[in-house]
Amino acid sequence: MTNTSNANITKASKNAVFHEDLDNNHQSDEQLCFARSQSQSQVAQARLKGKSQHQCQIQMQSKTQSWPQTQSQSQSQLQSQTQTQAQSQTQHQQPSRSPKGAQPKLFTKAFICIALTNFAVFFSFQLTTVGMPVYLEQLGADELAVGLTVTLVTAAALPVRPFAGLILDSFGRKGALIAGIILMLFVIVAYLLFPLVGVVLALRVFHGVGWGLSSTSTSTIVADVIPKVRFAEGMGWYALGGSLSAAIGPALSIFLLEEVGAQAMIFVASASLGIAFVLSLFVEDQAMPDKNNQAKHESVERSASSISRNTKPKLTLDSLIERDAWLPSLGILLVNAGFAAITAFIAVYGMAQGVANISLYFVVYSLVTIVSRPIIGRIIDQKGFFVPSVLGTLCVAVTLVIVSASHDIGMFCIAGVFAGLGLGTVQGAFQTMAVSSVPPQRKGVATSTFLIGLDGGLCLGSAIAGVLAVMVGYSGMFAVMALFPFAATIFFVVCYKKWDEKHRA
């Protein structure tokens, strides 16, 4: 009995121990599972956190890399818009391109209008240039006062030209042209209203100011409308207005003075300027910007910090004189210095030689100029400046040599042929060089620089020729004055290569 009881107690004790071990094992398993689950959760969170950080880094790197690209694209778009604006603004300045194989049109409405305006202005000027000395003589002026009539106009126009070029490039061409024509018109009418020698001489100064402003304007405007590939040819046709006025104006002025009177000459000169004024109202100023285009791209201009065309110009030497036009301007100064002797003294020299009808020289000279200018202009466009310029300066020198040896009308007419070929070629080539070597916004200054050389040569040459005529006589004077165009030939040959290399670069 006792043994059985002890056995039961031992068995119960073993069962209790077994159940306690099972409980402990279960708790250990639960703790292990909990620990594993926590560990897995931490690992998952760590992985998720690492992944988020990696994604953030990638996004930041992507943004950092894309920002310069975005900025570059914005700058590229701004530059593209600016270029589009510049093209749209200058599109009206450039002649429209013709289909491939065809040349751009030369005789446009704009070209014809400014050419006719130029002819009317030149015609009036030629009438008064020849007629005013006779008018002053009729008013009782002495020889000194009569001689000052031409000198005062040229001397007044000379300092006006550089400022005229600055005005044209800064404020537009058309307004300056109209102002010059109106000033000349008022002056010519005043010649009749105030028939006093002193007053007329003072008015000649204002006449020169109007002449300098209007002639610079017409030459600049026509340079804007002529296609670049036909520039010399276009300038040749344009210069026919000056040649025709030089052929018709003096003869008509003398006829009116002898047959009708000075009042008729002044009336015709005024009427010619009146026609020029009406024509100038229809002249196209292609250098002025398109207002609609300017307003459309105003925001782009501000972003690109573009300089406005209406910026107040600074008065400097570079704003008055175009450095790139130095070669043609100095060349025409030397050529005109020599040719001024013919302009001032050939009529007196012919009469001293006993030659009748010396006016035939002017007829031959004008006809040759009219016929040759367009042809020579086409040659310059195709072959360049060098050969025509050299041959032209040599022709002017030969003209002076022939005149110095002339004793009959035949010799004077031969001289007229060389004069028409030489001076017509040189003026066309040199003016084309001066204007074509500069950007559009500097054409006014380039034109005025060239005309300063032209007027300066006339003033310098006529003064030197007068002194030489007293010292060595007319024949010797013409021979000596031939040295000026010879010097122009040498000067051009020596300097042209450097000038050409600069403007081809």
Amino acid identity, residue 315?
A: L
Rg, Å, the chain Cα set? 43
Cα–Cα distance for residue pair 141/198, rounded to 1 Å: 9
Helix pair angle (174-193, 109-138), 10° resolution: 20
CATH number for the region 107-286 comes to 1.20.1250.20
Band (pLDDT 50/70/90 cuts) for residue 284 is confident
Domains 107-286 and 321-505 share a fold: yes
Q: Indicate left, alpha or beta for 357 from its phi (over 0: left) and psi (-120 to 50: alpha).
A: left
CB 200, CB 180: distance < 8 Å = no
18-71: per-residue pLDDT in tens?
444 444 444 444 444 444 444 444 544 444 444 444 444 444 444 444 444 444
Q: Is the pTM of this model over 0.95?
A: no
Cα–Cα distance for residue pair 148/488, rounded to 1 Å: 28
3-state secondary structure of 123: helix
Give the model's pLDDT for residue 319: 66
156-178: per-residue pLDDT in tens?
888 888 887 777 777 778 888 99
Q: Which CATH superfamily is domain 321-505 in?
A: MFS general substrate transporter like domains (1.20.1250.20)
Give the model's pLDDT for residue 360: 83
Higher pLDDT, 347 or 401: 401
Structural domain spans, the chain = 107-286, 321-505
CB 232, CB 429: distance < 8 Å = yes
